[in-house]
Amino acid sequence: MAEGHTAAAEDGAVSADIVAKLKLRIVEHCLPLWSTEGWDDKAGGFIDRLGPDGRADAMAPRRVFVQARQIYCYAKAAQMGWYLEGRAIALKGLEHLLAKAKAPDGRPGFVHTLAPDGATLDPLRDSYDHAFILLALAAVYGLDRDAQIRTEIDALCHFVETQLRSPHGGVHEGLPISLPRRQNPQMHLFEAMIAAFDATHDLVFQNRAGNFFSLFLANLYDKPRQVLGEYFEEDWSKIEPICVEPGHQAEWAWLLRGFERITGCPTGRYRGELLATALRYRDAATGCLIDEGDANGNIRRHTRRLWPQTEIAKAWIAQAESGEAGAADEARAALARLERHYLSHPVAGGWYDQFDREGNSLVATIPASSFYHVLCAVTEAEQVLA
């Protein structure tokens, strides 16, 4: 299906009530859909994707980071007071995750992929997965301050610190160790440590977040070119030509604002540079971020996923929170583009995941992994813009 796009529709969609409109969509459609059709009543666990008709693809493998993201979504919705059932759904999801994915083979850490029946498909201990499991645990802990959840948080962090930590800084891709190294797991562990600090107020998480901030400054961010690289050698030397994902430039801008909030460390310069870099890579017809460019500002892939659009909205929200003139309007415009191009799906509570240069949908299914991005953007918007 090709997306629709007219100037009139664009003008009409950019309105002051976009935050309330998106919140209503999440509360009335997304949260009910992904806790019913998106939950496996027989085997337990969240469904990884829905078909284009909104029916569960029950036979699709279950990625562990998606389980964690869905737990986070329902815990966050409960915390925001959006969805009364959210706490119970998050706890049900966490119980399944701990029972099936945590050390089923007797080795520490969480496995990478589960079969629909809960059996292990891939025993890889993936750092990216563990970042989202920590994020989920932090969100659930923030609801009740349950001591057992805190024990799980500490055990997971011990595994990261003792098993995944690289002597060159940051964490390995996973166990077994592989190359190239990516900034992505480092970024999401940075996010998870900020969330864990917010939930616990324990300075150990502030210090751990600081380690990832130091890695950003020393290795991940190319200061002369003002770009965040994606791929690195074991010692963090850059792999040329540098791959630039504008969505990650924007995501780091938002995260740096979170780090500034919990530490007082000024990050405005880097946020401004990252945001400016992200905005170099936009689709001319829609204004949406494309998927990939190079360090010189050239577009390498004209496709455009859903998630970068949520991250550019969050980057503008972070700038609005810090008082930048015009940032709130830019954030609302980004949210309106998200709704118009990606969330206007025939399945209520669903979305389009990716378009090509001509505006044709490239992914027939509705992936559960996108819910975290959408919900996070809207919760941030309500807290800052509404």
Ranges in the chain, pLDDT < 70: 1-14
Give the pairing type, strands 62-63 and 181-182. unpaired
Q: DSSP states of 215-230 as a string? A: HIIIIIEETTTTEE--
pLDDT value, residue 330: 98
- CA separation for the pair 118, 127 (Å, rounded): 21
Residues 156, 214 contacting (CB under 8 angstroms): no
Strand partners for 49: 367
Tokens 């919990």, residue?
262
- CA separation for the pair 342, 288 (Å, rounded): 10
Give the pairing type, strands 243-244 and 292-294. antiparallel
Gyration radius of the chain's alpha carbons? 20
The runs of H, that is alpha helices, within the chain are: 7-13, 18-25, 31-36, 64-79, 86-101, 127-144, 147-159, 183-200, 203-215, 246-263, 268-278, 307-321, 327-338, 370-384
Write down the domain spans for the chain.
16-384
Phi-psi region of 165 (alpha: psi -120 to 50; beta: other; left: phi over 0): beta
Residues 112, 63 contacting (CB under 8 angstroms): yes
Q: Enter the pTM of the model.
A: 0.96
pLDDT value, residue 386: 87
State the architecture of 16-384 in CATH terms.
Alpha/alpha barrel (1.50)
pLDDT value, residue 16: 72
Secondary element (H or E) of residue 369: none
| Local structure of 175: helix, strand or coil | strand
Q: How far apart are the first and last CA of the chain?
A: 33
| Local structure of 147: helix, strand or coil | helix
Our measurement of the distance from residue 195's CA atom to the centroid of its chain's CA atoms, rounded to an integer in Å, reads: 13
Specify burial of residue 202 (Cβ count, 10 A radius: 0-12, 13-18, 19+): middle
- CA separation for the pair 120, 279 (Å, rounded): 41
Residues 69, 368 contacting (CB under 8 angstroms): yes
pLDDT value, residue 2: 58
pLDDT value, residue 222: 97
Assigned token pair, 325: 């003139």
User: Is the peptide bond prior to 224 cis by the omega test (within 30 degrees of 0)?
Assistant: no
Residues 381, 328 contacting (CB under 8 angstroms): no
- CA separation for the pair 40, 57 (Å, rounded): 10
pLDDT value, residue 287: 98
Strand partners for 174: 126
Separation in Å, CA 335 to CA 136, 194, 206, 217, 355: 24, 24, 30, 29, 17
Tokens 């929200």, residue?
317
